[in-house]
Amino acid sequence: MQNAFGEPQNILVLGGTSDIGVAIARRLMAPSTKTVTLACRRPETAGLAVASLTRPGVVAEAVEFEATDESNHVGFVRALVDRTGDLDVVILAFGQLGDQERLENDPASAADLVRVNFASAASIALAVAAQMRKQGHGRLVVLSSVAGERVRKANFVYGSTKAGLDGFAQGLGDSLEGTGAGVLIVRPGFVHSSMTAGLEAAPFATTPDVVADAVASGLRTGRRIVWAPGILRWIFMILRHVPAPLWRRLPLG
């Protein structure tokens, strides 16, 4: 349970090898933090992330979590709560970027990406929300993307999954109003990370630590949506209204 200062005792990262997810967890750690759990498909690959979160008095560990095993999501949440206690902050950070050209020519692969990024994310988010509603507190941090604010042709499969997840998270947050629990939606731009390694950086590219700072500020001030960097909010206020023929010609990658 969070203390009187809103500091989390237990933090869960779904997608525990995510550079952004780990950076957020690290930024949110406080003297009251007792456990940080990194849930990922292959826990053995999360050693460096676990080490970066290890502190005196803090149990940092990686546990197995398969996002596409939706039938086990409720059981996973219950088992974790039984072991660590209430979920104070849960960071939903798993997802796949994919290669647009390959996805356009391989519908089955596109469907797999849609399942991971949207259907599986929605499933575990509902399981977490049910637990937080029961607790009467907790914040679910959902990593969306500016790619979903207005989907562009260069990555429309990925972008559409983020658009769906963003809308889902908004509705989920509304459904939790008055329960003591809530949802914080994070809309980063291009983030330098292992997921984007080798890709040409987009304008206003940022880092996992900058995203983590935005999340910490958003949680502290009770925001429902944060952008990273913040200037993207104002840019997309304009871009979302650009006529479609012009939008298709913009050099946005």
Residue type, 17: T
pTM greater than 0.85 (yes/no): yes
* Residues paired with 213 in a beta bridge: none
DSSP character at residue 200: P
Give, to the nearest 10 degrees, the angle between helix 121-135 and helix 156-175: 20
| Strand ordering across the sheet containing 181-188 | 59-64, 35-40, 10-14, 89-92, 138-143, 181-188, 225-228
Task: Give the HSE-up count for residue 163: Cα atoms under 13 Å, Cβ half-sphere.
Answer: 13
DSSP letter assigned to residue 198: T
Element (H, E) at 248: helix 244-249
Q: Is the pLDDT of residue 173 over 90?
A: yes
pLDDT of residue 101: 93
- Check whether 197 has a pLDDT greater than 80: no
Question: 65, 94, 158, 227: which one is catalytic?
Answer: 158
Give the closest residue to 213 by CA, choosing from 3, 17, 23, 12. 23
The predicted-structure confidence for 237-250, as pLDDT tens digits, reads as follows 998 888 888 878 88
Which residue segments constitute the domains of the chain, with CATH numbers given? 10-249 (3.40.50.720)
Residues ≥6 apart with Cβ < 8 Å to 225: 184, 185, 186, 187, 218
Residue found under tokens 């104002």: 234
Q: What is the model's pLDDT at position 186?
A: 98
pLDDT of residue 67: 97
Q: pLDDT tens digits, residue range 78-137?
A: 999 999 999 999 999 999 999 999 999 999 999 999 999 999 999 999 999 999 999 999
From 71, 80, 214, select the one nearest 135 (Cα to Cα).
Answer: 80
Per-residue pLDDT of 33-60, as tens digits, reads 999 999 999 999 999 999 999 999 999 9
- Helices within 29-138 (DSSP H only): 47-53, 73-84, 100-105, 107-114, 121-135
Confidence of residue 4 (pLDDT cuts 50, 70, 90): very low
pLDDT greater than 90 at residue 179: yes
Question: Which has more confidence, 200 or 167?
Answer: 167
82 is catalytic: no
